[in-house]
Chain A
Amino acid sequence: MTWENSAITITTLLPLAGAIVIVLVPKDRDRLVRGLGIVITGAALVLAAAIAMGFDYGAGGLQYVLDTTWIDAIGARYHVGIDGLSMPLYLLTYLLTFLCAIYTWRYVPSPGRTKAFVALMLLLETGMAGSFIAFDLILFFVFWELVLVPMYFLIAIWGSANREYASIKFFLFTLFGSIFMLLGFLAMYFTSDVDGAHTFDMLKLQGFAQGGGFSHTFQLIAFGAIALGLAVKVPMWPVHTWLPDAHTEAPTVGSVLLAGVMLKMGTYGFLRIAIPLLPEAARVYAPWIGLLAAIAIVYAALACLAQKDLKRLIAFSSVGHMGFVMLGIATMTEIGFQAAVFGMVAHGVITGMLFFCVGSIYDRYHTREIATIGGGMSQSMPKMAGIFSFVAIASLGLPGLAGFWGEVMSLLSAFNPNAALGLDVGTYRVFMVMGGIGTVLTAGYFLWMLQRVNMGTLPERWKGSGFPDILAVEWVSWAPLLVLTLVLGLYPRLVFGMTNEAVRSLTGLFGG
């Protein structure tokens, strides 16, 4: 065991170990548990950062690889590694969870139960991080599903009024999707023949696919199944309906991690599995994915306009933003893929931050109804209002802030999709125009939201309620995201630099 081959295993499993430690802490040591949460996630973040430091960004391919036997009965191996595509998302996972742990320092949402809360959060972290490093389909699937149960409980226990419905809907929807995904995996496994054996190894399958191992029809079917599973998680229109409920009902930390990281698992899956392993099918499906993505953008923006609930609005906006990511992916171009990864990171940072804001607003007002809040937040909490506006504006894609590059590059890539798709550019230009309309509508609902929340005068009912403006804990947990929003906007190379090599080899699969 060297650092090289064990680093990501240690980093990924550290939160899991931490969760076990936390379970063993006495129940009444509330502060200790929260402190431990911060320390563990912090340590994991440091390790992740160390991995990032040691990563050779110039080289393509996997690094920190560990490939060893695991469940030979079903042919699954423990194959982990990290490349430019995983790196930004891997780091994002640790950063967001760490910040969530800090945010939790102040209080754990009703009904308390700090231990369980922190432990589930850590379990979630392992699941999320693991899905970004797994290079074996079953291993990937395990991590993918590992996320499900903790998130279910985060929503079901610490959620708001309608939590039961939301949590079950979330669970069933995603499980439904992942069953299809698993079927797709198994189909690939049984069809594959590498050195006379079936395999779940992504890289081997990729080679097998390149060698023409999967027939055209097979690819179409397998891609359909896998894409369905991934699409639910993304979520793509029209299988997104779990998301507004889940996001809305989840506790703040849950929403942040859900929006910030979990949705990316779906889009990442497209880049990591669906497209490289089934490139022919990807080519066929691409325009349809693009269409759904374009619909999602417009649809979500319209839906946002109809929202009366602040958190629900943000939730719907995620659908639209992920639409841009999917549009980028659907172009199958280098720019599109890069845009997608950037979009994922940016969405994680910005929407995560938006959920933090909404959570804190809710803490003070104890309502999420925009009409009840009634405006005037700039008067009661000028700093909060300022931060909220900043993040909202970042989210609507203002150039110079993180949200911009993912959107604009995704639209740019749609201008001319990969020639290998053999499509008339017109199709994608229509998507591009829909995306453009979406950006206008997006600006519309965000500004309208700001008008109704921040602007105007403080309604009578809130006068004298003495809301505290942003608290120290909030500053600490938010500052990194705010800085990142700005830095990514001004210096997008931070992400593009990481992903360049990996994306190049990905696009290489299409000869485009």
Chain B
Amino acid sequence: MTSQEYAFVVTAVLGALAAVGTVTARNVVHAALYLVVALASVGVTFLLLGAEFVGWVQILIYVGAIVILFLFGLMLTKAPIGRDSLDGKNRVVGAVVAVLVFAGLVGLVQAAFPFDGAPALPAAGGSLDIGTAMFTDYVLPFEAVSFVLLAALIGAIVLARKDEGDPR
């Protein structure tokens, strides 16, 4: 156990708790805040793994932008508060399925990458390489993603905007 690993474990536990909180909280705002914590812990994990660029992007975009978006969404839709209004009737089924998934995934992970004797990860690094790659090999996906974002943007505006009169 290195110090980095300790830090990761703390972050991960925090993040995990926050994640569970996100999906179980009875108050929408609480849920959103839990989400902030969970996403931030993921960002911290990235940083701990040495992926600085991705880590900061995570923190800025998710914590900074997306969660705000969620909050706006919650306010606009006047989301009510309370277990019944947030959770559906299939909590049990959902829980069973989720536990199964978790067990399965952990099983697979443990089998494929046994904990005992697993080597410590080196730092991911490469933030500079990312910049280069983004505009050389990855220029095509980059352009494509920009179209996805553009489409999402335009489409979201069209759908979300309040029409006066004619257009359905």
- The reply to whether A and B meet directly (CB within 8 Å) is no
B residues apposed to A, CB below 8 Å: none
A residues apposed to B, CB below 8 Å: none
